[in-house]
Structure 1
Amino acid sequence: MVVVSADVISQYERFSLYNSPYPAHDAGCAIDLYPGNDVAVSPVAGVVRAVRTVRCPARPYAVSEDHLILIDCETHVARILHVDPAVDAGDRVEIGDRLGTLVRSGFFGRWVDNHIHLGFRRPEQNLQRASGSMPIQPDVSVTGLAWDGTGTVVETGKTHVRLDAPNHGGSGFAALADDDGVPLDGGLPHYSGGGALQTVSGERSLLGTPIGTGDGRDVTWGDVAVYANGRRATGLSLFTSRKQFGLKLVFHAGHRSSVGDELTVRIEPTADPLRLG
């Protein structure tokens, strides 16, 4: 397991280990870092080994080419994606140095904000393939935020809305908590694998409904559906933030909400769960 320090993570507004459909994130083996702007600052120190162009799925809202930056970090090699690079092989970078500009990658769902994808491999591993990175442990304390399922819409996009709740009025990082106060991570239930920011086991529940089963940091979502004012949502986009929190609801086929609307969210068992990956 590779520990990412609090000093590194605090460069960014948000992070997520599990909120992705791609196998690179299985078992928390990659971390997405959201700076809140389009400047990509380095989460690692080392020498750039290579920069490669990567084809990504064609999306009308995204670029068709992404980039993989490989950086030698003594015992590990960092794999960084979703950056239009301003560095070349042989360059030395320090933590906080500018790597380039974030790109709106075709690997993203429309509701996904621009971010840096970071994973680590041993030097002898295959550095090109998507899966195979080492588990990552963020070295930060995360507060679990209780939520009653209600909130006011403060932001909308074509495929998402963001609420003003649960509110994070303190300092440090926070994430939505399950009914036992455990901070959650991932796409509930639209990505099959989710996670927790601490070790868990057995059934997890949210808003009084069982949502999955914990095993270590991993949570396998159960067959549930998310509703907002009676309208079915794709799911909840779960992450950890050090800014004002605000839950993101995903509607991959569109929604009818406007800023200022009051929403009540409920979770119910279903025989027809929505899975995007």
Structure 2
Amino acid sequence: MVTLPGSVVGRYERFSLYNSPYPAHDGGNAIDLYPGENGGLAPSPVAGKVLDTRTVACPSRPYAAEEDHLILVDTDDYVARILHVDPAVSAGDRVAIGDPLGQLVRSGFFGRWVDDHIHLGFRPPDANHYRASGSLPLALDVDVRALSWDGTGTVVATGPEHVLLDAPTPDSDGTRFAALASDEGIPLDGGLAHYAGGGTFRSYEGLISLLDCPVGIAAGRDVTWADVAITANGRRATGLSLFATRMPVGAKLVFHKGHDFAVGDSLTVGVNPTADPVQLG
């Protein structure tokens, strides 16, 4: 297991281990780090020597780039795999933590509601560094506080396939991370329940509920989501996007087929069992 220090994670506004449909994140074996500016510079989360960079084709999306990129960095103990950055570095370059690696890429691997981020995973030096899966489990030296929520909020920002609410928000000085919590007080991670698996930021065993509805079974950090439907003012949403943040950001609702909500609308979010779950990955 590789431990990512809090001093590294704290350089980013948000992070998630499980909020992805891709197997690389299974078991929390990769982290997505959000610097906060779409299309901005990507500060390196690791120090070491650049081993290689590669360009790969993306799924075709009208809102995204046609190509994505892989950067491999030898950190002495492990090889770091970094994705979604158009590299301004080359093999042989040395980078320090915080150095710009290049520009963030609006990747075709992202849903339209997903902000630009750095994907980071680690492999042993003798592993295959190019295949998509096979990264080591990640531990984070970060305390994530639990944010309780009654399911209500006001829309403060929208995109074609998401809305952002003003609640729940961290009550902090912008240095401490927090995440929406289950009814049991466990901070949650992942796509509820549009991605097959989710997680927690605190080890837990047993039933997990949200807004008085059972939403999954936790085993350590992993959560197997139940078949639930997310609604906003009675209208079906795709799901809830769950992550840890140190910024004043509330719940993020995903609508992968679009929505008609506007800034200033008051929403009441519901969670209920369903025989017709939305599964995007």
Question: Is the TM value for this pair above 0.5?
Answer: yes
TM-score scaled by length of structure 2? 0.98
Helix, strand or coil for the counterpart of 1:119?
Answer: strand
**d(CA) in 2 for partners of 1:204 and 1:237?**
16
After TM superposition, give the deviation of residue 259 of structure 1 in Å: 0.2
**Is the 8 Å Cα contact of residues 160 and 254 (structure 1) preserved in structure 2?**
yes
The answer to whether residue 262 in structure 2 is matched with residue 241 in structure 1 is no
Helix, strand or coil for the counterpart of 2:69?
Answer: strand
The answer to whether residue 168 in structure 2 is matched with residue 169 in structure 1 is no
After TM superposition, give the deviation of residue 162 of structure 1 in Å: 0.2
Q: Which residue of 1 aligns with 2:21?
A: 21
- Output the amino acid matched with 1:32: D
TM-score scaled by length of structure 1? 0.99
**Identity fraction in percent:** 66
Question: For the aligned residues, what is the CA RMSD?
Answer: 0.6
**Is the 8 Å Cα contact of residues 175 and 245 (structure 1) preserved in structure 2?**
no
Deviations 1:149-190 (A, max 9, x none): 000000000000000000211240000000011000000000
**d(CA) in 1 for partners of 2:82 and 2:56?**
12
Helix, strand or coil for the counterpart of 1:201?
Answer: strand
Moved segments of 4+, more than 6 Å? none
**d(CA) in 2 for partners of 1:199 and 1:4?**
17
Gaps of 5+ in 2: none
**d(CA) in 2 for partners of 1:87 and 1:135?**
26
**d(CA) in 2 for partners of 1:189 and 1:73?**
35
Q: Which residue of 2 aligns with 1:139?
A: 141
Residue 267 (structure 2) aligned to one of 238, 251, 263: 263
Alignment of 1:86-101 (within 5 A): 86-101=88-103
Deviations 1:210-247 (A, max 9, x none): 00000110000000000000000000000000111211
Helix, strand or coil for the counterpart of 1:26?
Answer: helix
**d(CA) in 1 for partners of 2:128 and 2:7?**
29
**Is the 8 Å Cα contact of residues 212 and 222 (structure 1) preserved in structure 2?**
yes
Deviations 1:96-133 (A, max 9, x none): 10100001000000000000000000011111111110
Residue 46 (structure 2) aligned to one of 27, 44, 47: 44
After TM superposition, give the deviation of residue 198 of structure 1 in Å: 1.0
Gaps of 5+ in 1: none
Q: Which residue of 1 aligns with 2:256?
A: 252
Q: Which residue of 2 aligns with 1:73?
A: 75
**d(CA) in 1 for partners of 2:131 and 2:190?**
22
Q: Which residue of 2 aligns with 1:115?
A: 117
Q: Which residue of 2 aligns with 1:276?
A: 280
**Is the 8 Å Cα contact of residues 47 and 71 (structure 1) preserved in structure 2?**
yes
Q: Which residue of 2 aligns with 1:212?
A: 216
**d(CA) in 1 for partners of 2:28 and 2:253?**
22
After TM superposition, give the deviation of residue 249 of structure 1 in Å: 0.1
**d(CA) in 1 for partners of 2:229 and 2:205?**
22
Residue 59 (structure 2) aligned to one of 36, 57, 74: 57
- Output the amino acid matched with 1:84: D
**Is the 8 Å Cα contact of residues 174 and 245 (structure 1) preserved in structure 2?**
no
**d(CA) in 2 for partners of 1:167 and 1:72?**
37
Residue 186 (structure 2) aligned to one of 175, 182, 201: 182
**d(CA) in 2 for partners of 1:122 and 1:93?**
19
**d(CA) in 2 for partners of 1:214 and 1:245?**
25
